[in-house]
Structure 1
Amino acid sequence: MALPNIFTSEVTDAVIGRINKLTPASTPLWGKMNVSQMLAHLNVSYEMVYEDKHPKPKGFMKFILKMLVKNKVVGETPYKHNGPTAPAFIITDERDFQAEKSRLIAHIKKTQELGEKHFDGKESHSFGPLTITEWNNMFYKHLDHHLGQFGV
């Protein structure tokens, strides 16, 4: 089962449409994050691609991530509810809903505009070089999981 292609404008537009259904009062169907924290959490994936904000794992930690975590993140199997989260993705402070929403939409649009060829073989923050399919699965699956968490 192939996941929808986040690099196409149709899928990007559909995901952004789902994001635009969220409000500051949206509540989760599971989990601890509020909607603003969830948007900030989703932004971390893109910060790791577009910003030099998060330290890259090295040595043994990078090996562990590649061997034990990578396939869960870049594969097609959906995430389970309340699964483990890497420390960089844990958002506990309050965030501005509109700012996080705008940042996320901008990141998604930038990714789509750069296109899949830009990501083909590109080094990921934690897992080494990824294929187009792996990048797509990582981006789309994470978005879909958390948008579903909030019922959109």
Structure 2
Amino acid sequence: MSTLADSAAKAAVRQRIERLTPGTPRQWGRMTPHQMVCHLTDAYRISSGERRAKALDNFISRSVVRLVALHTPLTWPKGAKTVPEADQEQDGTRPAEWDRDLADLLRRIDAFRPLEGHPHPLFGPLTQSEWNVWGFRHADHHLRQFGL
């Protein structure tokens, strides 16, 4: 399974993000490309502990959903709700300047160092390995949303 701990997988994610433009059409969902850039940035900030998100986990999300999302090759479902702290129409970072926001996301991917045992808002505490899988799969999910 691909992970951001693998330099080739990380480089591939970066290359796909660099092909994104403000006008890239979405294949599903409501997010604009700029909102997606800010959403991913907020999510990486949550994974590092830099940004707090309210825990919304329960037994099912910590066990079954976590297992399927992080330990199987199944694609993530389209249209799943995100936490308010990573939703650009709620408490997430609002898109400001495309080039700056995109550069911030790319820097965070380059420097991605998740905290061992840090809690994910839906999956609960994750190992560093699980965070690295999540980091790849989350970006991949949204890049596929824009056909990348």
TM-score (norm 2): 0.79
Kindly indicate whether the alpha-carbon contact (under 8 Å) linking 1:56 and 1:125 is maintained by their aligned counterparts in 2.
no
Tell me the equivalent position of 1:124: 119
- In structure 1, list runs of 5 or more residues that go unmatched: none
Tell me the equivalent position of 1:12: 10
- In structure 2, list runs of 5 or more residues that go unmatched: none
Using the alignment, how far apart are the partners of 2:125 and 2:11 within structure 1? 27
Aligned to 2:111, the other structure's residue is in SS state helix
Aligned to 2:109, the other structure's residue is in SS state helix
Measured against aligned partners, the alpha-carbon deviations of 1:2-42 in whole angstroms (never above 9, x if no partner) come to: x2122121111111000110112112111111100011111
Aligned to 1:91, the other structure's residue is in SS state coil
Moved over 6 A (4+): none
Equivalence map 1:35-50=2 (5 Å): 35-50=33-48
Larger radius of gyration: 1
Aligned to 2:110, the other structure's residue is in SS state helix
Q: Which one of the candidate residues 134, 142, 151 is aligned to 2:130?
A: 134
Tell me the equivalent position of 1:66: 62
Correspondence 1:81 to 2:84: no
Kindly indicate whether the alpha-carbon contact (under 8 Å) linking 2:120 and 2:126 is maintained by their aligned counterparts in 1.
no
Aligned to 1:6, the other structure's residue is in SS state coil
**RMSD of aligned residue pairs (Cα, Å):** 2.4
Kindly indicate whether the alpha-carbon contact (under 8 Å) linking 1:37 and 1:95 is maintained by their aligned counterparts in 2.
no
Count of aligned pairs: 141
Change (3 A) 1:87 1:79: same
Measured against aligned partners, the alpha-carbon deviations of 1:22-72 in whole angstroms (never above 9, x if no partner) come to: 112112111111100011111122111234432442xxx444553565345
Using the alignment, how far apart are the partners of 2:54 and 2:71 within structure 1? 21
Correspondence 1:96 to 2:93: no
TM-score (norm 1): 0.77
